[in-house]
């Protein structure tokens, strides 16, 4: 079996590639750094030649404005066409819990379009909806901070370690297509504003958090159900404290 990981040099992608190679599988990492551009389609045909399974772990390089929607809409069309031409038998994609509930956000609207195109493609698929990665907390801080203050929603969040998601994605790439959406989350549910405040305290970052229910999250106003999974979600074992102590942020010099 030949497996191609799109975004194979990224946070989740490189972890998937490593795990599959350690198990002895033929795996190719495809990304812009290897000459594959899913937005323009350059390099896709060659990268997917002979592939049985494609794992899409790509993400928009921009998170705000209309750019994420444009990225996902162009990328998924190019990728699915290349997969159809190559005779790919299983498309595995990682997306985000709550995508269908946040149409006001161009980012999440793009992810919803991505899922719809996958379902309609005729290519057998498995879609994983994961909650926000712990690794994404710093990006939330960077995108929200203004004059040493962050204004954040108190909506619930249940983040997950990207490594746990990579384990699941690698497993699913080797199994038959589910033709369904599966949800994954971390073990603990907390309010976004409180988790970010705790994160800032732990890494000794000099910022304060103001709780504001109307503060948008990538363009969408959140409620308590927006970012959390359903009852059938797979709950992973890595909690916030365990993740933080093995992360690059532990003991950072701010």
Phi, psi of 226 (to 5 degrees): -60, -45
Q: Comparing C-alpha atoms, which of 104, 98, 96 is closest to residue 59?
A: 96
pTM > 0.85: yes
What was the pLDDT predicted at 88?
A: 98
- Residue 249: pLDDT above 70? no
Distant-in-sequence, close-in-space partners of 3: CB < 8 Å, separation ≥ 6 = 20, 25, 26, 27, 28, 51, 52, 53, 54, 55, 173
Domains annotated for the chain, with CATH where assigned, are 2-245 (3.40.50.720)
161 pLDDT more than 80: yes
Residue 206's pLDDT band, with cuts at 50, 70 and 90, is confident
CA distance 181 to 114: 13
Residue 196 three-state SS: helix
Cα separation of 96 and 73, whole Å?
Answer: 16
pLDDT, one tens digit per residue, over 97-148 is 999 999 999 999 999 999 999 999 999 999 999 999 999 998 899 889 888 8
Token couple for 20: 């599959």
Query: At residue 254, does pLDDT exceed 70?
Result: no
The span from the CA of 138 to the CA of 193, in Å, is 13
Q: Give the CA dihedral 82, 64, 115, 176, nearest 10 degrees.
A: 70
Residue 235: is its pLDDT beyond 90? yes
Mean pLDDT computed over 15-22: 97
Q: DSSP code of 227?
A: B
Task: State how far the Cα of 51 lies from the Cα of 83, in Å rounded to an integer.
Answer: 8
The whole-angstrom distance between residue 125's C-alpha and the CA centroid of its chain comes to 17
Question: What mean pLDDT is predicted for residues 46-61?
Answer: 96
Residue 253: which pLDDT band, with cuts at 50, 70 and 90?
very low
User: What's the pLDDT score for residue 252?
Assistant: 46
pLDDT at 64 over 90: no
- Quote the strand ranges of 42-168, DSSP E: 53-56, 90-96, 125-130, 145-146, 149-152, 156-157
Whose tokens are 């999440």? That residue is 108
Please give the mean pLDDT across all residues of the chain. 94
Select from 102, 177, 170 the least CA-distant residue to 132: 102
Answer yes or no: is pLDDT of 246 > 90.
no
- Taking alpha carbons only, the member of 174, 178, 195 closest to residue 241 is 195
Check residue 132 and give its pLDDT. 95
> What pLDDT is attached to residue 63?
86
Q: Which of 138, 241, 151 is nearest to 190 (CA)?
A: 241
Residue 248 pLDDT exceeds 90? no
89 pLDDT higher than 80 = yes
Q: What is the pLDDT of residue 146?
A: 86
Residue range 212-234: mean pLDDT, rounded: 94
| The pairing of beta strand 125-130 with beta strand 149-152 | unpaired
Predicted pLDDT of residue 250 = 54
């Amino acid at each position: 079996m030949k497996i191609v990981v799109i975004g194979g040099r990224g946070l989740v992608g490189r972890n998937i590639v490593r795990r599959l190679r350690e198990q002895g599988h033929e795996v190719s990492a495809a990304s812009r750094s290897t000459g594959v551009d899913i937005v323009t389609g350059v390099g896709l045909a060659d990268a997917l030649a002979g592939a049985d399974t494609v794992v899409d772990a790509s993400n928009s390089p921009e998170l705000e404005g209309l750019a994420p929607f444009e990225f996902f809409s162009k990328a998924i069309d190019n990728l699915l066409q290349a997969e159809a031409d190559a005779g790919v038998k299983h498309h595995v994609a990682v997306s985000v819990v709550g995508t269908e509930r946040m149409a006001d956000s161009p980012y999440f609207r793009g992810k919803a379009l991505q899922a719809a195109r996958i379902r309609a493609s005729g290519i057998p698929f498995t879609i994983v909806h994961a909650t926000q990665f712990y690794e994404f907390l710093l990006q939330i801080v960077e995108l929200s901070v203004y004059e040493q203050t962050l204004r954040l929603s108190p909506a619930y969040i249940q983040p997950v370690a990207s490594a746990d998601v990579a384990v699941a994605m690698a497993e699913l790439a080797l199994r038959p297509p589910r033709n369904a959406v599966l949800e994954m989350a971390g073990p603990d549910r907390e309010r976004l504003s409180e988790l970010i405040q705790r994160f800032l305290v732990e890494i000794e970052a000099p910022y304060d958090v103001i709780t504001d229910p109307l503060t948008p999250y990538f363009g969408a106003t959140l409620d308590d159900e927006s970012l959390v999974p359903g009852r059938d979600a797979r709950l992973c074992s890595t909690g916030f404290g365990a993740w933080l102590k093995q992360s690059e942020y532990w003991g950072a010099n701010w």
